[in-house]
Structure 1
Amino acid sequence: MKGRMYSPRFPADHLLHPVFVRTYHLDDELGAGGYGFVMTARHRGDGHEVAVKFIIKDKVPEHAWWEDEVFGKVPTEVMLLSLINHENIVRCLDLFEDEVYFYLVQELHGTPWVSKKKKKSKQVTAPGKLVALPSSSMPSLTPSPSYESNVDSLPNTPPQVCVDSLSGPQEELAAGGQDPACVEPHCFSSHLAEGGEKENQEHLLQPVTSSLVRPNFSRRPSYDLFECIEQSKHKRLSEVQARYIFAQVVEAVHYLDSQGITHCDIKDENLVVDSDMKVKLIDFGSAVVADPSAPRPYYTLFFGTTAYAASEILLKKPYRAPPAEIWTLGVLLSYLLTGHSPFPTEQDAKDGRIILREPSKCGGSGRLSRAAVALMGRCLEKEPDRRADINEVRGHRWLQGALESRGRD
């Protein structure tokens, strides 16, 4: 079936993978960018809704591919999502490929947030190659007890993987530390290993019993945290809500850090949230991996979002990913609590000069608690060696009992 029946973004005469077409029915667009686009779809069997991220193969940088003995070359983002498992992190459900695209199928999570304002622009660095100074080996990934998953959104930056820090044997990256020959990533299936163009089973090529006419192409409202904040009364969250959401993000970062993975682009637009304030981290296109038992490598280039970049990155110093991730958490916390960055200018961020807008000055009422401000300060410590690590953040007094509160007073 031709992709143009579902979206004008598909090349003319592009045929979708036959197994995908018989399994899912494409619906609305969720987002688009230079490296592909995301659409909603429904499973034809049970009717559940998913998100499908179409990744354009030619747009994936050479160093952002993973060589798998069974499935061949797949984007490193896809490999990571197929192995990690945490309730606050997006999880891959299925994967297809044809000559042009990888189809990353993920569970749809969140509430559509309709904003009256256009999404604010946040500067993103230009594409390039991540460079690590020392090399290290790959870690073993062990899934958390959680199994919930969610939708991934299109990355604002291209998939970037630090080649030098991945110089160790790839065999070490497998669930539970097992030999990858014995572990099949949970979203991989035979139609990926064999390639979509090789599918020739007659029952899969029979016409799908659905309408062949799609007169309108529609786009859904965003599910991300940015739009959630925009829809709030004062363009910020209450401290109780912010505390619950932030605690969930910290849990995700703590899990990733234990596996040697750093997301490298945490921001409000890379968190999807539902009406119960349940959040999930999306978009692992810029993630880097290192041996969690060894000192973390230093990087010399950055591909995240400048508004969230740590002081050492803005100063163009070699930096380690985990401390830079903590800084990002501090910036996120400021957006949650005040609706604004803690740094009015880039120079303020370079100098580590925090300038907070109190809720009473942001159209709200009351003041931020001392504990919240203290935690933000520990995350935004200018010197990375003195900055809090994820264990300190997770154990901070402001977050005690946050997950149990579920964002309620």
Structure 2
Amino acid sequence: MTTIPDATFDPSTLQRLPQLSTGHLAPGAPTDRSLRSPLTPPPTPIISDNSGTPQDKLTVSARQLQNHVLQPEFLAEYVLGDELGSGGFGFVVSATRKSDNREVAVKFIFRDKVPVHGWANDPQLGVIPMEIHVLRKVQHANIIAFLNAYQDSKFFYLVMELHGTPWSASNPLLSKNNNNNNNNNNPTNISMIEAMANATLSQQRLAGASSTVSSVSSASYKTTSSSSSLTSLSHSGSESELYVEPPKPSLLVRRTSCDLFECIEHHSKFSESQARMIFKQIVECVEYLNSCGICHRDIKDENIVIDNDFKVKLIDFGSAVIIPRPQGKLFDRFYGTINYASPEILKGEKYRAESAEVWSLGILLYTILYGEVPFNDPVQAISGPYISPRVRSSSECLHLLNWMLAKSPERRATIEDVVSHPWLTGISMSGSA
């Protein structure tokens, strides 16, 4: 979920750029991922229920929520579970929806950390984070689905579907017959969720109190489908509202990641046909966003969750932007991750988000195919060839890869070129390389 802060890029800092590329913001995790050394979430902390628990033993979500009174209507509907991830602008926690026992993901976005470019003026909801605005607008099989949203004085709560297999060698969900995509049909998962819910509920108490927290009306925010037709963003502060104590930090432990980075680490490498299946979904998703005038601007393996059947979904739209049509827009600030930044961005030039996105897709394809990044440093990305793959690929595959990683944006493939490329469509190129 990491993005580089909103700041003008200075080419003079190229020597130290590899150290700026961060992955999971796990405590103590290394920051240089250019060599693809495995990064896994920290081990589950051992936390006692005593009030004297050291703060450094708690996850980010536990530290933030242990003394925070959550939005009442959210608590009436959901029970918090594990931490799924954290970053500079917020953190993500699993939750169980009480009405149907469905497990979801909840992103807590710090109100005071949303950057200037990260806000959107929604015609129905007013000024809200761009991520919520975009996810409400889009609906695609390979984009994580918006379910609901709330707010209080400290956070926006973005409730989304939970997708993906936790990629750990010891995880029983890696069994092909035990697909994590069907949590509600899995007795083991249901037992785990129920135990979590019961443990949390046993620690909650209802008490009449005056609510001092801004809230979102459940009547106006209730949804019946992932497309979610919201009509208004209202605030309530009734004297009769009830509040519930947040769950104790011992429940908010870190869960193994479900993202494509961890999946690649687990598999070491994919066959070309597997890589094609994964990449085709991502490309079709990006093309759909492009047709909506939306650019994600932080395409990378960590922002793609994947399940045991290799079905992927794009997440983390915190850096997304709506491109004005038909004139387009040139950008002079960088949003994203250095290892995926295009040459024009690295040189400090003005750039078009659409062509920079195709470069990021090229980096992603190389990573999926070969299990490592194609460039050792930004200087090589600007002027050098990518690292020669140790695995042979078809001529069609290499043609697409080279086209997407063209140094000049004018010579680079467009997203339409990528979607219709023979490597993805199965049409022979007869001699192209």
Is the shorter-chain TM-score for this pair beyond 0.5, marking a shared fold?
yes
* Equivalent residue in structure 1 for 2:142, among 88, 100, 103: 88
Assess if the C-alpha contact under 8 Å between 2:84 and 2:93 holds in 1: yes
**In the TM superposition, what is the alpha-carbon distance from 1:374 to its structure 2 partner?**
0.8
* Pairing partner for 1:393 from 390, 415, 418: 418
Deviations 1:297-354 (A, max 9, x none): 1111112111011111111111111111111111101001111122223222101522
1:257 equivalent to 2:290? Answer yes
Residue aligned with 2:406, SS? coil
Aligned to 1:56: 110
Query: Structure 1 regions of 5+ residues with no counterpart?
Result: 117-147, 149-183, 360-366, 403-409
Of residues 220, 232, 235, the one that matches 2:255 is 220
Indicate the larger mover: 338-347 or 369-378. Answer: 338-347
* Aligned residue among 357, 376, 379 for 2:404: 379
| Equivalent of residue 231 in structure 1, options 266, 278, 284 | 266
Letter in 2 for 1:62: V
CA distance in 2, matches of 1:358, 1:214: 46
Question: Does the CA-based 8 Å contact 2:75-2:244 persist in structure 1?
Answer: no
* Equivalent residue number for residue 128 of structure 2: 74
Using the size of structure 1 for normalisation, the TM-score is 0.72
Structure 1 pair 328/33, CA: closer, same or farther in 2 (3 Å)? same
Residues 81-122 of structure 1 deviation map (CA, whole Å, 9 limit, x = unaligned): 101111111221100000100000000000001279xxxxxx
Cα deviation, 1:229-259, whole Å, max 9, x if unaligned, reads 0001xx2211111100100010011111111
How many residue pairs align between the two structures?
A: 317
1:267 aligns with 2:300: yes
Amino acid in structure 2 at the alignment position of 1:312: E
- Within the candidate set 205, 220, 224, 2:242 is matched to 205
Deviations 1:16-62 (A, max 9, x none): 11110010000000011221110000000100000000001000123
Conserved 8 A contact 2:63-2:249: no
Give the residue type in structure 2 aligned to 1:339: G
Which whole-Å CA distance do the structure 1 matches of 2:65 and 2:148 have between them? 23
Give the 3-state SS of the residue equivalent to 1:8 in structure 2. Answer: helix
Mapped to 2, the partners of 1:86 and 1:55 lie a distance apart of 23
Structure 1 position 355 matched with structure 2 position 363 = no
Counterpart secondary structure, 2:334? coil
Query: Conserved in 1, the CA contact under 8 Å of 2:296 and 2:320?
Result: yes
Instruction: Note if 1:298 corresponds to 2:330.
Output: yes
> Where in structure 1 do 4 or more consecutive aligned residues deviate above 4 Å?
184-190, 211-216
Change (3 A) 1:344 1:7: closer
Ranges in structure 2 where 5+ consecutive residues have no aligned partner = 1-57, 171-180, 182-224, 428-433
Partner Cα distance (1:207, 1:343) in 2:
50
For the residue of structure 2 that corresponds to 1:85, the secondary structure is: coil
What's the secondary structure of 1:9's corresponding residue? helix
- Between 101-110 and 348-357, the greater mean CA deviation after superposition: 348-357
> 2: distance between equivalents of 1:29 and 1:12?
13
Give the 3 Å change call, closer, same or farther, for CA 244–101 of structure 1 in structure 2.
same
Q: Deviations over 1:371-398 (max 9, x none)?
A: 1111000001111111111111111111
Query: Cα–Cα, structure 1 residues 100 and 381, in superposed 2: closer, same or farther, change >3 Å?
Result: same
SS in 2 for 1:88: coil
Kindly provide the CA deviation profile for residues 157-214 of structure 1, in whole angstroms up to 9, marking residues without a partner as x. xxxxxxxxxxxxxxxxxxxxxxxxxxx9954757x7223xx24385x73879xx9766
- Residue of structure 1 aligned with 2:233, choices 162, 187, 193: 193
Q: Which fold has the larger relative contact order, with Cα–Cα distance below 8 Å and residues 6 or more apart in sequence?
A: 2
